[in-house]
């Protein structure tokens, strides 16, 4: 059993231990939680490249004691030149998931770093950008040790990725899938990170780096142009807020599914789940049925905030949550249709010694995104835009300058007893479910953070390369739990113990006395670092 890590001066958690350590290095150097998170975000983009990239999107939820919680929406919109017709004219029934046609949205994550640094300066943050990117640059130039997760993912997806421009040259070693423990250098990416340190983050969109990116994207056939890059800015938003019996819980606004995560917790609060055991069929049934209710709202309403037909905060009104709760039957599972599928992502958290907290998520959508790697910059570009529909009547129909739907959502809670909690996970459909598991086990059942994360989990929906939408249970659940869930009408499928299909979760909480406690997921290559 892994033990919960505790410290007092600062703490970071990430699905790769080197990212956590990079964050704590910055905290030790006098940096704040935002500065530490940029160190972690840049590092993990290098050492965990199959799960994220600086050619992807990101979202932030940020808490500073005595101030309102804020959020940063760092997701890029679709290119201004594309339309549904531009794809149907090519004979596409849907947007391709790989290659240039899938690389159709601006990468927003670097813009998010800049917006976060602007907030950091208001806190008195002074560390130079070069110091924040120092570890990432070193690992890119000196080489990374390939993880088992990266090796397995590369082998699994090689058939659909090896012919994509730049992929084989970047992510294969000697033309072969790298094995766990092999050394891999990402030299061009290191040069790009150095250029960002020298020229500033804005150069990604409006500088010499932007010119190189735009030129190469155009040459490869991506619709993202220099104009699309130049007009991009990350957006600071007021996050969604759930009033829970244990405190206030915050998450990201659409186009993310932050609303889904909050609805689930609001419903579980009303179902009085504490009367059930944390590994019981009744508990899992409650979470799964709450998830179904939240997913129906997601699939009917959540899209680019500028295109929504309702105020997302209105779905968290007590009277609306009360109504949804009455639709949940404790004796029978609601029939389930089809989820949104997987997404490859990293969630990370940092809390500094002043109690400033960051919940952060960074993604390229599918593993390795579009597969495209720009040769001059080493950027692996995301394929988030393949989530758009080519059906003009669909809630997430493709349109120029429209933001795609995101499964990403970074969670943060301010509890009534004074604790501040950051938590999250990767995993597409699984993100709000795993968030519910971590929050309820920690805050409702009073498990330690590590125990709440280590405990067996489940996933309603699809996983990598899987077309089934069954309820997947890790093998550590009691047989009686499986049988009872089946009796309630759930289509149950068992997966391996500690299977990463149920996500790479993490969490940190800070108590009112300044003590920090954190946990990382044994299903990942993660770690908690504190001092």
Residues 337 and 368 in one domain: no
Catalytic residue among 61, 256, 303, 345: 345
Residues 98 and 212 in one domain: yes
DSSP string, 165-221: TTHHHHH-BTTBPPPTT-EE--HHHHHHHHHHHHH-TTHHHHSHHHHHHHHHHHHHT
Residues 228 and 332 in one domain: no
Q: Over range 28-44, report the average pLDDT.
A: 98
* pTM given for the model: 0.96
pLDDT at 510 over 60: yes
Least confident of 31-35, 293-297, 392-396, 405-409: 405-409
Please report the pLDDT score of residue 412 as a whole number: 98
Residues 171 and 267 in one domain: no
Please report the pLDDT score of residue 14 as a whole number: 95
Question: Which residues fall within 8 angstroms of residue 393, CB to CB, at 6 or more apart?
Answer: none
Query: Is 63 a member of any domain?
Result: yes
CA 72 – CA 69 distance, rounded (Å) = 11
Residues 266 and 321 in one domain: yes
pLDDT in tens, 491-507: 999 998 998 888 889 99
Residues 499 and 479 in one domain: yes
Please report the pLDDT score of residue 462 as a whole number: 66
pLDDT in tens, 317-338: 999 999 999 999 999 999 986 6
Is residue 58 within 8 A of residue 362, CB to CB? The reply is yes
Q: What CATH number has the domain bearing residue 275?
A: 3.60.20.40
CA 92 – CA 96 distance, rounded (Å) = 8
Query: Is 400 a member of any domain?
Result: no
Query: Is 244 a member of any domain?
Result: no
Residues 446 and 321 in one domain: yes
Residues 318 and 358 in one domain: no
Residues 103 and 218 in one domain: yes
CA 94 – CA 84 distance, rounded (Å) = 9
CA 258 – CA 471 distance, rounded (Å) = 21
Least confident of 323-327, 341-345, 486-490: 341-345
Query: Is 398 a member of any domain?
Result: no
Residues 466 and 496 in one domain: yes
Is residue 123 within 8 A of residue 356, CB to CB? The reply is yes
Reported as a pLDDT band with limits 50, 70 and 90, residue 288 is very high
Query: Is 12 a member of any domain?
Result: no
437: containing domain: 254-343+410-530
Query: Is 35 a member of any domain?
Result: yes
- Catalytic residue at 345? yes
Q: Over range 286-293, report the average pLDDT.
A: 97
Residues 429 and 359 in one domain: no
pLDDT in tens, 344-370: 689 999 999 999 999 999 999 999 999
Respond yes or no on whether the N-terminal peptide bond of residue 255 is cis (omega within 30° of 0).
Answer: yes
Residues 208 and 261 in one domain: no
DSSP string, 455-466: S--EEES--TT-
Query: Is 119 a member of any domain?
Result: yes
Query: Is 241 a member of any domain?
Result: no
pLDDT at 466 over 60: no
Provide the percentage of residues in the chain whose pLDDT is more than 70: 97
pLDDT at 296 over 90: yes
Closest CA to 338 of 514, 457, 250, 468: 468
DSSP string, 347-382: EEEEEETT--EEEEEEEEESTTTT--B-TTT--B--
End-to-end CA distance of the chain: 22
Q: Over range 25-50, report the average pLDDT.
A: 97
Number of folded domains that form the chain: 2
């Amino acid at each position: 059993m892994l033990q919960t890590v505790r410290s007092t001066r600062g703490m970071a958690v990430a699905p790769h231990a080197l990212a956590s350590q990079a964050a704590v290095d910055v905290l030790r150097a006098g940096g704040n939680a935002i500065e530490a998170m940029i160190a972690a975000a840049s590092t993990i983009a290098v050492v965990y490249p199959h799960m994220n990239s600086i050619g992807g999107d990101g979202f932030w939820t940020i808490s500073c004691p005595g101030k309102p919680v804020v959020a940063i929406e760092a997701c890029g919109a679709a290119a201004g030149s594309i339309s549904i017709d531009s794809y149907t004219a090519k004979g596409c029934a849907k947007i391709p998931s790989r290659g240039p046609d899938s690389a159709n949205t601006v990468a927003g994550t670097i813009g998010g770093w800049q917006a976060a640094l602007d907030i950091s300066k208001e806190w008195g943050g002074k560390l130079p950008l070069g110091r924040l990117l120092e570890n990432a640059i070193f690992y890119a130039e000196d080489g990374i040790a390939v993880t088992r997760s990266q090796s397995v993912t590369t082998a699994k997806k090689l058939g659909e990725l090896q012919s994509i421009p730049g992929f084989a040259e970047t992510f294969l070693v000697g033309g072969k899938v790298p094995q766990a423990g092999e050394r891999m250098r990402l030299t061009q990416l290191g040069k790009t990170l150095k250029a960002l340190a020298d020229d500033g983050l804005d150069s990604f969109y409006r500088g010499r780096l932007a010119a190189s990116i735009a030129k190469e994207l155009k040459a490869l056939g991506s619709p993202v142009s220099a104009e699309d890059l130049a007009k991009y800015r990350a957006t600071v938003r007021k996050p969604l807020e759930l009033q829970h019996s244990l405190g206030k819980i915050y998450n990201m606004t659409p186009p993310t599914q932050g609303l889904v995560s909050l609805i689930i917790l609001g419903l579980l609060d009303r179902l009085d789940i504490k009367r059930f055991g944390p590994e019981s069929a009744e508990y899992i049934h409650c979470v799964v049925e709450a998830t179904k209710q939240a997913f129906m709202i997601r699939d009917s309403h959540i899209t680019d905030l500028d295109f929504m037909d309702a105020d997302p905060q209105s779905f968290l009104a007590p009277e609306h949550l009360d109504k949804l709760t009455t639709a949940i039957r404790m004796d029978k599972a609601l029939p389930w249709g089809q989820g949104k599928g997987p997404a490859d992502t990293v969630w990370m958290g940092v809390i500094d010694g002043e109690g400033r907290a960051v919940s952060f998520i960074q993604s390229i959508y599918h593993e390795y995104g579009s597969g495209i790697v720009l040769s001059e910059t080493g950027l692996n570009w995301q394929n988030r835009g393949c989530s758009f529909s080519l059906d003009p009547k669909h809630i997430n129909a493709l349109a120029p300058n429209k933001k795609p739907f995101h499964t990403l959502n970074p969670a943060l809670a301010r509890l009534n007893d004074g604790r501040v909690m950051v938590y999250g996970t990767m995993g597409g459909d699984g993100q709000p479910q795993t968030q519910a598991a971590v929050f309820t086990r920690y805050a409702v059942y009073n498990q330690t953070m590590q125990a709440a994360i280590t405990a067996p989990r489940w996933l309603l929906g699809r996983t990598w390369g899987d077309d089934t939408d069954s309820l997947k249970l890790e093998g550590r659940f009691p047989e009686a739990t499986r049988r009872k869930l089946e009796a309630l009408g759930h289509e149950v499928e068992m997966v391996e113990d500690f299977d990463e299909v149920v996500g790479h979760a993490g969490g940190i909480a800070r108590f009112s006395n300044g003590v920090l406690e954190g946990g990382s997921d044994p299903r990942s290559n993660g770690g908690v670092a504190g001092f």
